[in-house]
Amino acid sequence: MAKSVIINRALFAFTINLLGLLAQPSSAQLRQNYYANICPNVESIVRNAVTAKLQQTSVTVPGTLRLFFHDCFVNGCDASVIVASTASNTAEKDNSINLSLAGDGFDTVIKAKAAVDAIEQCRNKVSCADILAMAARDVISLSGGPSYAVELGRLDGLSSTSASVDGKLPLPTFNLNQLTAIFAANGISQTDMIALSAAHTVGFSHCDKFSNRIYDFGGQAGSIDPSLNRTYATQLQIQCPRNVDPTIAVPLDPVSPRAFDNQYYLNLQQRMGLLSSDQVLAEDTRSRPTVNNWALNSVAFNQAFVAAITNLGRVGVKTNPSEGNIRRDCAVLN
């Protein structure tokens, strides 16, 4: 009997450990300096291309960051979000939730890929997925955020379908439980989720994503979401009047919209989170201490963000040739 109990306990422990491993992001064979002997200058080539693109438009920063996130949460970080639709297939990028992805994000990767492939030694040796990961790092550092050593070695995915996107990405109406669950499905912790949410320190949102907070909240005529700063709500009503042009967008961070910093958390403390999925991080007592800590400590936030985006970059990566390849054209499957 005692031996049976010991065996059962061992099996239970093994099962728990196995489940824990399965829930982790797959870093597989990713490593820093992966291209050292393949395309030694790839990181500087990508950075130069990203810098040139950023000089053309500041949308490069949020566009590239959001592209990376939307890619990794659907079938892993494999650049499948960049693939264009064909007559026989509607790709990820044409799913309704991805239609708002900025064209400048796609253009950043395509231009960086062209710059890499212009070097004969590097041609068709660097994946679009890795170029996107490098570009995401570069737009963060070029806009004032932390720089970090990016892990590389991803292959590009072999498929891209609109249907695969459904239910995989967070919505602006999500509460903390919903946010935590959708990140956990990708092996990302709640702390990492709160850190990654600070990508909203840059970029814009269309008025229809938060109009329910500033007009007739909860179905009550003239009411405003009580978790929204009243002065800020009035400003938003001026920027986004009823029946506004759907192409109109406002900054997610009204204080420093072009700087990657910890202002996002300071805004949440002032009830100036634009989306309810932002503001809930300060309203829920489980996440509020983290928000308050990073609002006070930019160094701690930067460290947490680097850890979080590194974990994001490991989600569902493909390193086995049976799972992926290196696309000659990022928008076209080989």
Active site residues: 70
Annotated ligand binding at 289? The verdict is: no
Query: Considering only CA atoms, which of 163, 170, 195, 164 is closest in space to residue 185?
Result: 170
Annotated ligand binding at 245? The verdict is: no
Q: Are 44 and 131 in contact (CB under 8 A)?
A: no
328/333 Cα distance (integer angstroms): 8
Annotated ligand binding at 74? The verdict is: yes
Query: Considering only CA atoms, which of 284, 190, 282, 271 is closest in space to residue 236?
Result: 271
Q: Are 76 and 318 in contact (CB under 8 A)?
A: yes
Annotated ligand binding at 200? The verdict is: yes
Annotated ligand binding at 208? The verdict is: no
Q: For 195-240, give the DSSP string.
A: HHGGGGGS-EEEGGGTHHHHSSGGG-TT---TTS-HHHHHHHHHHS
268/283 Cα distance (integer angstroms): 9
| C-alpha dist (Å) from residue 323 to 1, 75, 86, 128 | 46, 11, 21, 15
Give the distance, in angstroms, between the CA of residue 114 and the centroid of all CA atoms in the same chain: 23
Annotated ligand binding at 78? The verdict is: yes
Annotated ligand binding at 206? The verdict is: no
Annotated ligand binding at 253? The verdict is: yes
Helices (H), the chain: 2-22, 42-56, 60-72, 103-117, 128-142, 176-184, 190-196, 211-214, 230-239, 263-269, 276-283, 288-296, 298-312
Annotated ligand binding at 71? The verdict is: yes
Annotated ligand binding at 299? The verdict is: no
End-to-end CA distance of the chain: 59
Q: Which residue has the tokens 């890795």?
A: 130
Which residues fall in the annotated binding site for substrate? 170
Which residues fall in the annotated binding site? 71, 74, 76, 78, 80, 92, 170, 200-201, 253, 261
Which residues fall in the annotated binding site for heme b? 200
